[in-house]
Amino acid sequence: MVWGVSFLAGFLGALTGLGGGVVVVPALTLALGVNIKYAIGASLVSVIATSSGAAAAYVREGFSNIRIGMFLEIATTVGAILGAFLATRIGTHALAIIFGLVLIQAAYQSFRGNKGGEESASSDALAERLRLPGSYPVDGKQQEYGVRNVPAGFSLMFGAGTLSGLLGIGSGAVKVIAMDRIMRIPFKVSTTTSNFMIGVTAAASAGIYLSRGFIDPRVAMPVMLGVLAGALLGAKVLVHARVQTLRAVFAFVVLALAIEMIVSGITGKV
């Protein structure tokens, strides 16, 4: 059961660039009655595996941008440390409710689609100075893209890091918003770069999780291996997948989990 859930979570996470955590944490706490602190510990470990395991495949496709990722990781890692400290001080009911709210946001984001998020051919001055713009393959040709609104994207990345550390998720949803919507980076570049960043962000809170006993190997072992297997399969499918369909499917799953999570948090079942 844990294996199956973890496999599915990893598969969906890789396809959408959002990480497996958003599915695995609710599944462990709601369906299997695992304490949310163990669940987010196991999830955090599994998102490191997902991110790192799929990275090689993405690099081959040439979508991810290492400079954008590294620069924004300054914000996400500092945020992640803050989030992990918060997680050690907050009660389980509150964690469940916060988790649910974050899931609703992720679902809403997916439903809305990519209407406004047009790519930008030009960059603003700061992005140029940081040498963030790059190119990616479209129909076999390299397409140049610009990067804009760096300060706003950077700030949102700090928030993404905090959420990641607080809830043990990759918080890829927020990372993709920051890059795709705010910095106007192409969607596939955003999701793959986000996937790259997730592992580093999660590693920043892992030390704190470990020392506080959030990471129990008996929970983390099946979750990590299951999510990893799912993610590797997901990364293979991604290149041929239609982004729009993916988002709709994912939004539906996430919304259902969100409602369940909040209800359980309020009634004290989690």
Partner 1 sequence: MSARMNDKRLETIIGRLLQVGVFLAAATVLAGGVLYLVEGNSGRVNFRDFTPGGPDLRSLAGIVNSAVHLHSLGLMQLGLLLLIATPVARVAMAVVGFALEHDRLYTVVSLIVLAVLAASLIHAG
Smallest gap, in angstroms, from Cβ of residue 4 to partner 1? Answer: 13
Q: Is 66 in the site for partner 1 (CB under 8 A)?
A: yes
**What sign does the CA torsion over 249, 255, 258, 259 have?**
negative
Does position 93 interact with partner 1 (CB under 8 A)? The reply is: no
Interface residues for partner 1 in 114-153 (CB under 8 A)?
130-131
Q: Distance between CA atoms of 40 and 23, rounded to whole angstroms?
A: 11
Per the CB < 8 A criterion, the answer to whether 141 and 73 are in contact is: no
Q: Judged by CB under 8 A, which of 18, 147, 220, 251 binds partner 1?
A: 220
Residues whose CB falls within 8 Å of the CB of residue 93, separated by 6 or more in sequence, listed in order = 265, 266, 268, 270
How many contiguous H segments (helices) and E segments (strands) does the chain have?
Answer: 12, 2
User: Closest approach of Cβ 104 to partner 1, in Å?
Assistant: 25
Q: Does 31 bind partner 1 (CB under 8 A)?
A: no
Contacts of 191 (CB under 8 A, 6+ apart): 16, 17, 63, 172, 176, 180
**Cα(174)–Cα(34) distance, integer angstroms:** 26
Q: To the nearest whole angstrom, how small is the minimum distance from the Cβ of residue 85 to partner 1? A: 10
For partner 1, the closer of residues 16 and 52 by Cβ is: 52
Question: Rule CB under 8 A: is residue 224 a binding residue for partner 1?
Answer: yes
List residues near partner 1 by CB under 8 A.
2, 33-35, 37-38, 45, 48-49, 51-53, 55-60, 62, 64, 66-67, 70-71, 73-74, 77-78, 80-81, 84, 92, 130-131, 199-200, 202-208, 210-222, 224-225, 228
